[in-house]
Structures are given as structure tokens and as C-alpha cells.
Amino acid sequence: QVELVESGGGLVQAGGSLRLSCAASGTRYRSLVMAWFRQAPGKEREFVATISWNGGSTAYADSVEGRFTISRDNAKNTVYLQMNSLKPEDTAVYYCAAVAGLRGSRSQGSYDFWGQGTQVTVSS
């Protein structure tokens, strides 16, 4: 079992920045693929970004490409999502997800472990 705890959400004005963190604990896996998803009010949860077990490969949703950066520190069992140039449409609950493996997936069904989510609100 892997426990994921997100932090760093909050209220920010459009054009501002936030950095989300996701700390993993309880893992006995040698490698974990990590990802961020988000769910806006009234919408389905959608893929945001994913990072391979060693940080060597990343992928982003088109809507955040060039504005968001996913990274990880395996010594701290933590993955980050740096969000710049935030827009009101980025408002959502952001979820961290993980699965044992090497490379990420854009499909939420591929992930076995989920955090509780952290709220990000971008005001116009």
C-alpha cells in the first residue's frame, strides 16, 4: 500500500504561480510512476502530467504544456507540480496518483494509488 498526501493548494490570482507537492509513504516498490490529475466542478477528472520513475520522462496535457512542470525527488519520495501563468480554468481539485512501474500513463485507470486532493482556485 502507498499513501499519498498532497499539499500546496490555495487561492491565487490569474497569472500567478503555485507549487503542489505530493509525499509518498509506505511504499515497498522500487519504482513508482507518479502523476497529477484534476477535477473541476461539474467535470470529469482529467490528466494533467506524469513523470517516470527516475524523472527521465514526462508528459503533459495540452492545456498545461509550457505552463506546468512536473518533477520529483526520489530521496524524499516527493513529486511536485510547478504551476505558472495560472488561469481561472485551472481551478480544480488536484490529485496525486501513483503506480508501480517505469513509465507514466495519461489514463487514470492505470494508477492504483490516489491522494485525497488539494484545492486550487484561480481568481480572475
Decide: 95 and 45 in contact? Cβ < 8 Å. Answer: yes
Q: What's the pLDDT score for residue 16? A: 98
More confident residue, 92 or 101: 92
For 33-64, write each residue's pLDDT tens digit. 999 999 999 999 999 999 999 989 999 999 99
Question: Confidence band (pLDDT; 50, 70, 90) for 28?
Answer: confident
Residue 116: count other Cβ atoms within 10 Å of its Cβ: 11
Mean residue pLDDT across the chain: 95
First-to-final CA distance of the chain: 40
What is the pLDDT averaged over residues 53-76?
95
Phi, psi of 37 (to 5 degrees): -125, 165
- Of the candidates 36, 61, 57, the one whose C-alpha atom is nearest the C-alpha of residue 114 is 36
Decide: 37 and 94 in contact? Cβ < 8 Å. Answer: yes
The residues that bridge with 123 in the sheet, in sequence order, are 13
Assign 66 to helix, strand or coil: coil
Phi, psi of 88 (to 5 degrees): -55, -35
User: Which cell numbers hold the place of 9?
Assistant: 493548494
Q: Name the percent of the chain lying above pLDDT 90.
A: 86
User: Which cell numbers hold the place of 42?
Assistant: 461539474
Question: Confidence band (pLDDT; 50, 70, 90) for 113?
Answer: very high
